[in-house]
Amino acid sequence: MRRFIPLLFIIIVAASVVAALTIQRGPLRPPNLRKNPLPPNAPILFVLTTGGEPGEAAGTRTAWRPLEKQFGIRIIVPETWSEQSVPIDAQRLKNEYPAAKIFITGFSNGGYNACEFAMQNPDLFAGAIPLGAFCDPLGIFSQPQTLELKILTVVGELDTWARGDDFRQIDDANRRLADYRITPDIIIVPGLGHQFPSAALDHIGKWIQGQ
């Protein structure tokens, strides 16, 4: 009888381990449920990737994630976007979060497109934040009009791609925006060329919260 004790002991221990692994304490939580979900009125930042092509969205989300964590801003980065899809997606967000203000941003070409979408759809977007780019009504409207739109331009001090070789492009565009009753705020990042302005994210978050 003694020789069967080790085997019986192993069976009992194994059964205890299985039981420990299968016991659930408390209700199950869906794996995609946030611990601290954002409130329905949290501001939304609709981010355009530079080229609007598949494969860019993941890196773009990572770059903007600090604003969601630190400032409670809902970051939306579509996998792809087009002239037709952006207003449709923005309207869906507006329907889903009617109490939230929606801002649109992008870097480089994404920034220029963000400006165009915002100026053409001021009923959808509360503001535009071009990075390494700027908003210019030239070529969008046939005549000046009043636009209810906030603009924050973020550009590197050495960014001749956006500012021009004579550093006057943004100033010229801002003078044209004055005809539309828009006075953009601007952040110039010291020593930065035509690169994503990570150092300005804190200022961008505070600006969005202040609108």
- Read off the pLDDT of each residue in 91-99 and give the average, rounded to a whole number: 96
Q: Are the CB atoms for 114 and 48 separated by under 8 Å? A: yes
* Res 62: pLDDT: 93
Q: Where are the domains of the chain?
A: 44-209
Distance CA 136, CA 29 (A): 48
Distance CA 142, CA 44 (A): 30
pTM: 0.82
Q: Which residue has the higher pLDDT, 157 or 14?
A: 157
Q: What is the pLDDT of residues 25-75, one digit of tens each?
A: 333 333 333 445 899 999 999 999 988 777 889 999 999 999 999 999 999
* Res 36: pLDDT: 53
Half-sphere exposure of 211 (CA within 13 A, CB side): 28
CATH of 44-209, one of 3.30.1490.190, 1.10.3720.10, 3.30.479.10, 3.40.50.1820: 3.40.50.1820
* Res 2: pLDDT: 42
List, as one string, the DSSP characters of 67-118.
HHHHH-PEEE--SS--TTHHHHHHHHHHHH-TTS-EEEEEETHHHHHHHHHH
Q: What is the pLDDT of residues 169-205, one digit of tens each?
A: 999 999 999 999 999 999 999 999 999 999 999 999 9
Distance CA 159, CA 165 (A): 9
